[in-house]
């Protein structure tokens, strides 16, 4: 077992100075051809590669970006990571991933762990608990330290930084409008608890679509679900009452649960009940019937976020501390993917 070779070892072996080795390897003209080639040959033979850590320390940049997300076993988030990873790789960055598990404390801890030099910048989506508490001091802190942060999807207005989002409100509006266009009148909304920013926005879009079409908006048709596993009862009750003929669900898990419940009761989708879900994931594609969804383009969000972050990082390099705080919020386009759950 041979440990990785260092400049120092090469220098000692060839009986030259460390600087000579370093310069030879970087093809500096300062070094005579003979020495240069000798060093290069030796380095190649021993497969010399500069130590990343030492480089990071010297250059004050790690060439890696930190990702903080609420969950990883989650189609949307994993597509986002995929998008980030691809761009990062392209630019020679690695990604280090931390999962907050939707816990505020973990989010804070993870950020602190990474903020002490491990990474050059963050890409993150807020945990539920963080959104609920409204406490963003940990994010402010890293930003104040001069570390760029890009937020995506679950963002907050309380923090000034680059953001990548979809127009949740407009997308919800479009989805609900399409249900109305198909003659649906009683459209239910199945959503999460309020403090999740995107849930709120989607509710707004839903409401606006109804009102714009002269349909009464009723709180009774809004079903707020905290735990997927226990929601079946609520849903089946409402279905029994035939309270609605269409559903807009803020995620595909809710949607598929609704469809299954409806099927059990002998209701047909889409004839008796049309369903549209947010988040175009794998469930929608393979459920029976397949589910009409609003594509959320996680990959595009990820790659966009990564590009914004890296751009800022490389810009910093030139301007060197010049602070042009022109934060932008990128809105990724969504579109409706029509499948079998609507007519």
Which residues of this chain interact with its own copies, rule CB under 8 A? 1-4, 47, 49-54, 56-57, 62, 64, 72-75, 78-79, 81-82, 85, 89, 92, 94-99, 106, 110, 112-118, 141, 144-146, 253, 256, 260, 263, 282-283, 286-288, 323
Question: With binding defined as CB under 7 A, does residue 181 bind DNA?
Answer: no
Question: With binding defined as CB under 7 A, does residue 2 bind DNA?
Answer: no
Output 117 or 183, the one with its CB closest to its own copies. 117
Per-residue contact string for residues 27-66; x = within reach of DNA by CB under 7 A: ---xxx-xxx-----------xxxx-xxx-xx-x------
34: partner contacted, choices DNA, its own copies, none (Cβ within 5-8 A by kind): DNA
**Interface with DNA in residues 60-119 (CB under 7 A):** 60
Q: How far is the CB of 313 from its own copies (least distance, A)?
A: 15
Q: How far is the CB of 295 from its own copies (least distance, A)?
A: 14
CA distances in angstroms from 235 to 176, 245, 266, 342, listed in the order given: 19, 13, 14, 19
Output 146 or 183, the one with its CB closest to DNA. 146
Q: Report the C-alpha gap between 307 and 44 in whole angstroms.
A: 34
At residue 12, the 3 state secondary structure works out as helix
339: partner contacted, choices its own copies, DNA, none (Cβ within 5-8 A by kind): none
Q: Report the C-alpha gap between 264 and 118 in whole angstroms.
A: 52
Q: How far is the CB of 218 from its own copies (least distance, A)?
A: 29
Q: Report the C-alpha gap between 262 and 264 in whole angstroms.
A: 5
Pairing of strands 292-294, 336-337: antiparallel
At residue 132, the 3 state secondary structure works out as helix
Binding DNA (rule: CB under 7 A), the pick from 2, 12, 13, 25 is 25
144: partner contacted, choices DNA, its own copies, none (Cβ within 5-8 A by kind): its own copies
Place of tokens 């370093």: 22
Q: How far is the CB of 57 from its own copies (least distance, A)?
A: 5
Question: With binding defined as CB under 7 A, does residue 22 bind DNA?
Answer: yes
Describe the chain by its helix, strand, coil percentages, rounded to 5. 50, 15, 35
Helix axes 137-144, 104-115, angle to 10 degrees: 10
286: partner contacted, choices its own copies, DNA, none (Cβ within 5-8 A by kind): its own copies
- Total interface residues for DNA by CB under 7 A: 29
Per the structure block, which two tokens stand in for 273?
């009940």
Output 32 or 183, the one with its CB closest to DNA. 32
> Quick one: 260 exposed, middle or buried, by C-beta within 10 A (0-12, 13-18, 19+)?
middle
97: partner contacted, choices DNA, its own copies, none (Cβ within 5-8 A by kind): its own copies
Q: How far is the CB of 141 from its own copies (least distance, A)?
A: 8
CB 41 within 8 A of CB 98: no
Q: What are 190's strand-pairing partners? A: 223, 249
Give the sign of the dihedral formed by CA 297, CA 303, CA 304, CA 305: positive
Q: Report the C-alpha gap between 218 and 187 in whole angstroms.
A: 10
Return the ∠ at Cα 119 (arms to 113 and 120), rounded to 5°: 135
Q: How far is the CB of 245 from its own copies (least distance, A)?
A: 21
Q: Which residues of this chain interact with DNA, rule CB under 7 A?
A: 6-8, 15-20, 22-23, 25-26, 30-32, 34-36, 48-51, 53-55, 57-58, 60
């Amino acid at each position: 077992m041979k440990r990785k070779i260092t400049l120092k070892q090469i220098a000692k072996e060839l009986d030259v100075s460390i600087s000579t080795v370093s310069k030879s390897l970087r093809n500096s003209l300062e070094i005579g051809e003979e020495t240069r080639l000798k060093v290069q040959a030796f380095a190649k033979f021993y497969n010399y590669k500069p130590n990343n850590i030492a480089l990071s320390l010297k250059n004050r940049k790690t060439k890696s970006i930190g990702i903080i997300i609420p969950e990883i076993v989650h189609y949307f988030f994993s597509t986002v990571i995929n998008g980030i990873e691809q761009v990062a790789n392209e630019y020679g960055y690695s990604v280090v991933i931390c999962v907050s598990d939707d816990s505020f404390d973990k989010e804070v801890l993870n950020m602190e762990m990474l903020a002490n030099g491990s990474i050059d910048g963050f890409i993150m989506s807020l945990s539920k608990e963080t959104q609920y508490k409204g406490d963003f001091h940990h994010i402010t802190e890293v930003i104040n330290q001069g570390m760029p942060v890009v937020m995506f999807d679950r963002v907050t207005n309380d923090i000034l930084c680059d953001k990548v989002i979809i127009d949740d409100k407009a997308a919800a509006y479009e989805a609900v409008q399409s249900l109305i266009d198909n003659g649906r009148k009683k459209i239910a909304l199945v959503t999460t608890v309020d403090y999740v920013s995107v849930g709120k926005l989607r509710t707004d879009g839903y409401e606006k679509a109804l009102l714009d079409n002269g349909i009464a908006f009723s709180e009774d048709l809004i079903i707020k679900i905290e735990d997927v596993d226990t929601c079946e009862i609520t849903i089946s009750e409402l279905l029994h009452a035939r309270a609605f003929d269409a559903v807009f669900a803020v995620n595909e898990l809710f949607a598929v649960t609704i469809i299954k419940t409806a099927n059990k009761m002998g209701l047909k989708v889409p004839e008796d009940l049309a369903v549209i879900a947010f988040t175009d994931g794998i469930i929608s594609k393979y459920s029976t019937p397949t589910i009409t969804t609003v594509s959320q383009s996680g990959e595009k969000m990820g790659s966009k976020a990564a590009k914004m972050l890296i751009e800022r990082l490389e810009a910093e390099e030139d301007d060197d501390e010049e602070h042009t705080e022109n934060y932008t919020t990128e809105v990724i386009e969504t579109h409706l993917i029509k499948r079998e759950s609507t007519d």
